[in-house]
Amino acid sequence: MATAERHVGRASYEELLRLALERGFFFPSAEIYNEAPAGFWEYGPTGLLMRNNFIREWRRRIVRNDDMLEIDGSVILPKIVFEASGHLSSLVDPIVQCTKCGTKIRADKYISEKTGLQIDERLSPEEFQNLILKYELHCPKCGGEFGKPTKFNMMFRVGVGAEDSDAYLRPETAQSIFVDFARLSKTMRIKLPKGIAQVGRSFRNEIAPRQALIRLRELMQAEVEVFFNPTAKFDPSRFEKIKHITMNVLSQNSDPNQSKNLTASEAVVVFGGMEIITYYFALLQDFYEKCGFPKEKTRFRELSAADRAFYTTSAFDFEVETSSGWLELVACNYRTDYDLKNHAKFSKKDLEVMDGDKGKVLPHVVELSLGVDRSLFSLLDLHFYHEQERDVLRLQPNIAPFLAAVFPLISKGEIEARAISLYQNLKLEDFQTFYDDSGAIGRRYRRMDEIGTPYCLTVDHKSLEDETVTLRERDSMGQSRIRISEVGEKLRHLRDRNESQV
């Protein structure tokens, strides 16, 4: 009997989700309760190991590489912070409610879905009203009439203390960085330009959360805010280090389907003639490639004035091409002095700093606002494959949840003792290692292939005679013998072989 034909190639979204749920990457929050709202997901053990690796690479290649400072600010911030930042008035989605059944939907999305028109989400409630009347739109659930369109603020409000004073869960980690800037500048003796970084949770009360880790209500961001003097020239020796890095750039005035592959030197003109912005975009490009995002599947896309966030004057999205289209991973914004200026005004504090002999300056800010969850989801999407014999997750060794697995051929006697001892030693050397002694060796390999473990080590009868083990590589499925005493060194070499730093 011939076996059923298997679909070979990249996995579909549904298959990816099944892998995530069944292998401990991520799953819905409070899932045993039907009442649990959408848009909240938990990381399981494998997903968290992968996330830790991703953030470690971000710290290494962006934060530490560029001598940035990292802080950890509060998740709850007082209302005035978001009055100053503009989030209270501008982080809003237009919504309409059905007068008959009460359903609430995004006005802009619904109108554009029904009419095929491009609808700017920043239209006024009256303009939305007119469109609804003009196209005679009704509730998609019951056909009822819509009420007056309103603006829905996406921040989660919380009441602080017995007084229940107004505060909000932060919608981005960036605001603490701006609010703390004056203190950091003094206590850390900041010299411009300087990056300040933060990784942590942010919260957005999305009307329509979707696609697992793609649009969440509780999300993880890794943000960098670089403060600089807009009149100062960027250090040429720093630019020199990155000028060879190439990136795909899709600018507003180029063919919408045709991004250009440019060196950093060539890209400066597209990025507003600003070397400092180009420098950080190049660092970002390099970081993503080192995490396993192929360059040809990434691009910097310039946003139109209508698509930019309210606080930015020029903006590019760093995007990746997933199996369901291009997806924004990082918002790269030139925020000018918008935030510091407004916090200075609302707090009545002087937030200017000295810039050497150039005198006092209110710094400008370029931002890399990175979505961690989306990045991890995209990595799974890019690297999960069906092959004729197996499912395999081809994550790079620096990102894979486990670097290695140790198997005893049989789980008894000297073979088991040697395997356990090898496993313990690898853990002591700080390699994330998995131990598995159940089932046929072939099945143990398959389980490791599915969660992306690049190397498996099997202790067998021969190990007792010559102090070697079988090293099996995930991608080639090739096997070789290696001395037990050399396993640690070999794994380190395999993990770090493309470790060059810009």
Note the residues at the interface with Zn ion (CB under 5 A).
Answer: 98, 100-101, 103, 139, 141-142, 144
Contact assessment for residue 391 and residue 329, using Cβ atoms and an 8 Å cutoff: no
The secondary structure of 196-264 as a DSSP string is EEEEEEEE---SS-BTTTTB-SEEEEEEEEEEE-TTSPP-HHHHHHHTT-EEEEE-TTS-TT--EEEEH
Nearer to Zn ion, 147 or 488 (CB): 147
Nearer to Zn ion, 60 or 138 (CB): 138
Nearer to Zn ion, 101 or 464 (CB): 101
Q: What phi and psi, each to the nearest 5 degrees, are found at residue 12?
A: -80, 170
Nearer to Zn ion, 100 or 490 (CB): 100
For Cα atoms 156, 158, 159, give the angle at the middle one, nearest 5 degrees. Answer: 160
Nearer to Zn ion, 76 or 142 (CB): 142
Structure tokens of 249?
A: 């750039």
Residue 393 host element (H or E): strand 391-393
In the three-class reduction of DSSP (H, G, I as helix; E, B as strand; rest coil), residue 450 is classed as helix
Nearer to Zn ion, 28 or 144 (CB): 144
Helices (H), 400-498: 413-428, 441-451, 461-466, 487-496
Nearer to Zn ion, 188 or 208 (CB): 208
Nearer to Zn ion, 152 or 234 (CB): 152
- Rounded to a whole number of angstroms, the minimum distance from the CB of residue 387 to Zn ion is 48
Nearer to Zn ion, 96 or 330 (CB): 96
In angstroms, the first-to-last Cα distance of the chain is 55
Give me the helix-helix angle, 487-496 and 413-428, nearest 10°: 50
Q: What share of the chain is helix, strand, coil (3-state, %, to 5)?
A: 35, 25, 40
Nearer to Zn ion, 103 or 347 (CB): 103
- Rounded to a whole number of angstroms, the minimum distance from the CB of residue 36 to Zn ion is 24
- Rounded to a whole number of angstroms, the minimum distance from the CB of residue 97 to Zn ion is 9
- Rounded to a whole number of angstroms, the minimum distance from the CB of residue 148 to Zn ion is 15
Nearer to Zn ion, 56 or 141 (CB): 141
- Rounded to a whole number of angstroms, the minimum distance from the CB of residue 105 to Zn ion is 9
Nearer to Zn ion, 208 or 354 (CB): 208
- Strand pairing partners for 368? 224, 332
- Rounded to a whole number of angstroms, the minimum distance from the CB of residue 500 to Zn ion is 58
Which regions of 259-359 does DSSP assign to beta strands (E)? 260-263, 298-302, 314-322, 325-336, 353-354
- Rounded to a whole number of angstroms, the minimum distance from the CB of residue 297 to Zn ion is 41
Contact assessment for residue 283 and residue 247, using Cβ atoms and an 8 Å cutoff: no
Nearer to Zn ion, 145 or 430 (CB): 145
The contacts of residue 496 (CB under 8 Å, 6+ apart) are: 398
Q: How far apart (Å, rounded) are the C-alpha atoms in residues 426 and 430?
A: 7
- Rounded to a whole number of angstroms, the minimum distance from the CB of residue 246 to Zn ion is 52
- Rounded to a whole number of angstroms, the minimum distance from the CB of residue 90 to Zn ion is 29
The contacts of residue 105 (CB under 8 Å, 6+ apart) are: 95, 96, 140, 207, 208
- Rounded to a whole number of angstroms, the minimum distance from the CB of residue 141 to Zn ion is 5
For Cα atoms 459, 464, 468, give the angle at the middle one, nearest 5 degrees. Answer: 55
Structure tokens of 22?
A: 């069944």
- Rounded to a whole number of angstroms, the minimum distance from the CB of residue 147 to Zn ion is 10
Sheet with 104-106: list strands edge to edge: 104-106, 92-97, 150-153
- Rounded to a whole number of angstroms, the minimum distance from the CB of residue 133 to Zn ion is 17
Please give the C-alpha separations between residue 433 and each of 43, 315, 407, 444, in angstroms, as whole numbers.
19, 41, 11, 14
* Cis before 193 (ω within 30): yes
Rg of the chain over Cα atoms, rounded to whole angstroms, equals 26
Contact assessment for residue 302 and residue 251, using Cβ atoms and an 8 Å cutoff: yes
- Rounded to a whole number of angstroms, the minimum distance from the CB of residue 101 to Zn ion is 3
Side chain identity at residue 458, one-letter code: T
